[in-house]
Amino acid sequence: MKKWEEYKFKIDVYTPETLPMARCAEYMAELAAILGETPYVHFIKVGHGSANLVHRIDIEAVPRVMENTKAVEKGMGTSDQMRAYRNVNRMLRENNGTGTLKKGRAKVLYFPGKEEELLKLTSIQQQGEIDGEIARVGGIGEIIPILLTSEGETISGCHTKRIIAKELAKNLFESVRLYGEGRWERDIEGRWNLISFSVDRFEVLKETSLSKTILALRGLKGEWKKNSLQELLESRHNEKDTN
């Protein structure tokens, strides 16, 4: 009885002699995340011809690995699996190559890499709002830059007129919601990044502790419905509007 199944990950742009060890390790780490079942997946060697990362999967884990790869192929894998798939494609694009995961001669997953149609860089400009804590308000001239922080990240690109900046500065290190017109750009990975945001008004946000949030959740009657979270958010907005 077979004790394992052999899989190969072929990278067409490399040979065993040209594949850098550090890059090989990066590919293997992401591939392990896609396959899952890490205690049962074993790296064997880099095969001949194009660089083939040969690995064996213990027979009891093969059905689960097949389920994982099929889910990724359909775009329905876990967040970690899909992130790993995107990372492999990104690395292949950087290396100007493509990749194929095979079980024997059967293709399991294809990684288009350089052949993948990249998202076109797109920008939009529209009215919006940004929440964060004021870290800095200052500068010279009629347009004053504003620096925010949110969940440990810095938000730059915001600015406003001096009269609004003067009022904002009174709320330094407090949480606010900025309203205005912003411009966002989408990168090749599909992420939207703020380029600039012109603030025309703002409001100070009241801090809600975790304990208060839990009490609010417990106050919702009956079983959770699809719109229960929305009800909670609306109740918080209504409470804010009445103050």
Whether residue 79 sits in one domain with residue 33: yes
Which tokens hold the place of 117? 């149609």
Whether residue 107 sits in one domain with residue 129: no
Q: Is residue 20 part of a domain?
A: yes
Which tokens hold the place of 125? 């400009």
Show pLDDT as tens, one digit a residue, over the chain (243 residues): 789 999 999 999 999 999 999 999 999 999 999 999 999 999 999 988 788 999 999 999 999 999 999 999 888 888 899 999 999 999 999 999 999 999 988 999 999 998 876 555 577 888 999 999 999 998 888 999 999 999 888 999 999 999 999 999 999 999 999 999 999 887 666 667 889 999 999 999 986 544 444 455 555 544 444 455 555 555 555 554 545
Whether residue 230 sits in one domain with residue 200: no
Whether residue 182 sits in one domain with residue 96: no
Which tokens hold the place of 241? 């509007």
| Structural domain of 81 | 4-115
pLDDT on residue 77: 86
Whether residue 165 sits in one domain with residue 191: yes
Whether residue 25 sits in one domain with residue 93: yes
Do the beta carbons of residue 118 and residue 135 sit within 8 Å?
Answer: no
Give the CATH number of the domain where residue 164 resides. Answer: 2.40.50.140
pTM assigned to the model: 0.52
Do the beta carbons of residue 57 and residue 5 sit within 8 Å?
Answer: yes
Q: Is residue 211 part of a domain?
A: no
pLDDT on residue 224: 47
pLDDT on residue 118: 59
Give the CATH number of the domain where residue 20 resides. Answer: 3.30.70
In order of 120, 125, 158, 238, the CA distances from 190 in angstroms are: 9, 17, 22, 34
- Give the count of domains, the chain: 3
Q: Is residue 210 part of a domain?
A: no
